[in-house]
Amino acid sequence: MSAEPLLRIRGLRTYFHTERGRLAAVDGVSFDVGKGEIVGIVGESGCGKSATAQSVLRLFDEKRLASYEGEIDYDGTDLLRLSPKQMRDIRGNEISMIFQDPLSSLNPVHTVGQQIVETLRLHRPIGKKEAAARAIELLRMTGIPAPERRAREYPHQLSGGMRQRVMIAIALACEPKLLIADEPTTALDVTIQAQILELIAGLNRRLGMSVMLITHDLGVVAEACTRVVVMYLGQVVEAADVRTLFAKPLHPYTIGLMRSVPRLDGDRTQELPAVPGSVPTLGQVSPGCRFASRCAFADDRCRSEMPELETLPGTDTQVRCWYAGQIAEGRLADANRER
């Protein structure tokens, strides 16, 4: 990772204004994305991954729905201090985003070529003919066969994998420095998933583009990312480089996630262990560690005092757990098995 990160998030809080009051869907999140780096953001559904990604681009309605606190430093500019017009200049230009469902993200009444052209002409001083040629070039770059013909087709005429490639082409139209990919392979079959991930990784290598990859799939993280941030109920609970995290996870939640991943050398007759319990709602948040109600190590301190996200001495791993040091030394493993 570059010494100076492209994206530096510190203490980010995203509040939603509801009938029950103001709830923090993103609560004190801090992490960096380096220049040319692929960072994975992982966790269960509802943990705040997508809310964090959309907060970077300030996509929530700030007049009625949401408000932000903290700092989102993008290449020296705090995005939370920009005007709505300045943010529109950033979105799709400096920072682009791929959403989970391309069919609902693409306009059904315009051809895919028209939608790429629209993005180009919104942010670049470019004529229609030049933009149309560039759209075909982008479709070709993302691996779509017969791009001249596909550019004249509508989203419903394309397969799921092709629609996702179109979304990537739109996202890359203005050569962004940062690409946010929110579950880009969720609705695709395994073969197409691998192709889309290889496409994103290849573009990262060729263009030097930073990528923030949102996923719940640890296999995707192991394959594509250099660093990983684990989130739980709106907070970062662990962050490390991929090899370190997979070799020695230190937060009980991360350990649970790792144990639930199928292994080729495992006993196929046994059920995979699952993280016990379910994610509480934001209205059920306790004053202590948010994972305490599901954690085998939790005690009274865990239930009453919130641990900070800190770098464990002697490591580069950041972890939010009172007992991370003891977990690292293996001193809590036996106690966990007994429970």
Helices 128-141, 112-123: axis angle to 10 degrees equals 120
- How far is the C-alpha of 179 from the C-alpha of 298, rounded, in Å? 38
**What's the pLDDT score for residue 262?**
67
**What's the pLDDT score for residue 263?**
64
- Residue 80 inside a domain? The answer is no
* Of 227, 229, 291, residue with least CA distance to 256: 291
Average pLDDT on 89-106 reads 89
Confidence of residue 1 (pLDDT cuts 50, 70, 90): very low
- Residue 123 inside a domain? The answer is yes
**What's the pLDDT score for residue 62?**
93
The model scores a pTM over 0.85: yes
- Residue 166 inside a domain? The answer is yes
Tell me if 179 sits within 8 A of 200, measured CB to CB.
yes
DSSP string, 72-125: EEETTEEGGGS-HHHHHHHBTTTEEEE-S-HHHHS-TTS-HHHHHHHHHHHHS-
Confidence of residue 335 (pLDDT cuts 50, 70, 90): very low
- Residue 102 inside a domain? The answer is yes
* Of 201, 222, 182, residue with least CA distance to 52: 182
Can you read off the two tokens belonging to residue 171? 């996202």
Give yes or no for residue 201 having a pLDDT over 80.
yes
Average pLDDT on 140-162 reads 93
Token pair 């001495």 is found at 313
* Most confident listed range (20-29, 271-280, 281-290): 20-29
- Residue 112 inside a domain? The answer is yes
**What's the pLDDT score for residue 34?**
96
Confidence of residue 106 (pLDDT cuts 50, 70, 90): very high
**What's the pLDDT score for residue 154?**
96
Three-class SS state of 205: helix
**Positive or negative: CA dihedral 314, 315, 318, 320:** negative
- Residue 154 inside a domain? The answer is yes
Confidence of residue 179 (pLDDT cuts 50, 70, 90): very high
In 171-309, the DSSP E strands lie at: 178-182, 210-214, 227-232, 235-241
Domain count, the chain: 1
- Residue 289 inside a domain? The answer is no
- Residue 50 inside a domain? The answer is no
Q: Domain range holding 156?
A: 95-175
Tell me if 176 sits within 8 A of 133, measured CB to CB.
no
